[in-house]
Amino acid sequence: MTRRRRVLITGCGIITAAATGMEAFFDALAAGRSGLGLIQRFDTSCLATRVGGEVDIERLSPPPPLFSSQIWNRPRDTKAFLAWEALRQIIATPGLSPETALISTVGLERIDLDALIAATAAAEATPGAPPPEPICPEIPLTQLPGLLWRAAGFTGPISIQAAACAAGTIALGTAFRAIRAGSCDRIVAGGVDSLIFPYGIHAFNSIGALSERNEIGARALAPFDLKRSGTLLGEGAAYFLLEEEAAARARCAPILAEVAGYGASMDAHHCVIPDPTGRGAAAAMRAALADARLTPDSIGYINAHGTGTPHNDAMESRAIFDVFGEYAAMLPVSSIKPFVGHLLTAAGAVEAAASLLPFARGLLPPTLHFENPDPACKLDVIPNVAREGRPQYVMTNSYGLGGQNASLILSAPASLTGLMGGR
């Protein structure tokens, strides 16, 4: 049998409402410190949901001048600021080749609703005028990854991943498989997203996905809890440096984890609601286990998608029991969305970063605001306080609108005995 190339995670840059940078992010998870709160960036009085995971972009270093050129003239492009902050934590890595590839997610375009309403009124006042196009005040996301890479001085190929809330995990899985297959030795993969703007929040209110319990603030997001009422949106970015083993050895790179397996599937059920049987989610988990050549009882922790919506959490619980059987009742599970909000296309990348906490500090991140166990979610949900644990393998799951499912399995650096001089 041909030896499969090993793929290591040797770097991660991250920014969320809870913290910026890996160590600060780990600190927030360990301390149970949520970044959710009342949104301050704009007037939310017209919105049913007024709580989210907002990043103070005013404190961030601006992206290079390329982003404020006459072409774009948008110096406060939220996603550009977030992506640049996460990427700059990686691109200074010693020995990182300019030919390194980038795989990044694509989220929902921001629409300036007030400008669109004004343009619509103007068009209606002019007989025969065509209807106005939606007005996007930020860089189109199909252009953003190229601008980021160009600004960093990198010339490697770029791939854009559009798969809704599963996109971040799919980006990492795609990078993993490309490196393992020998297509390249290094890839930066991850994503950025933000729906902290009126149209974005209203769009998710319109499909019933968001909690409207503004009076209890961050506690409104309570995954797997019997009284859960919906998710809350956030914003942020996370990018990883993935490398083939020999390439990492050549630079004496630090090792955060090994990517052990990846699986994906499609529900083909509904444009918004996940398949309630959990068959698609279970198929992705089984595919990841098969790819990693592991049995279900090898997994010591699951970082769940855990959106806090009635549909998702019940479905995900059913899928975990389908795959893990009786072992599911004793398998630690948590969702970190109460720390940062739902980051949509960037969610999988940020949650993969949280999945490194057990390897880095021997702690399993908790599910904040979990107080009332739901009989439909009979999982070992880690409540409110980080739990000690050093699993060999962890799984992180992402499920996107439209039924896109992805599961990634990470292995502790301890499995790399003898690599990097016995590190």
Residues marked active site are found at: 165, 305, 342
Instruction: State the DSSP H helix or E strand holding residue 250, giving kind and residue range, or none if neither.
Output: helix 245-250
* Token couple for 34: 């949520």
- Taking Cα atoms as reference points, which of 356, 328, 123, 383 lies closest to residue 258? 356
Could you report how far apart the first and last alpha carbons of the chain are, in Å? 27
> Residue 235 — φ and ψ, nearest 5°?
-150, 155
H or E segment and range at residue 11 = strand 7-15
Alpha helices in 126-195 (DSSP H): 144-152, 167-180
CB 136 within 8 A of CB 160: no
Asked if residue 386 lies in contact with residue 364, where contact means CB atoms within 8 angstroms, the answer is yes
Task: Give CA–CA dist 342/7, Å, rounded.
Answer: 28
| Residue 82 to residue 105: CA distance in whole angstroms | 13
CB neighbours of residue 165 within 10 Å: 28
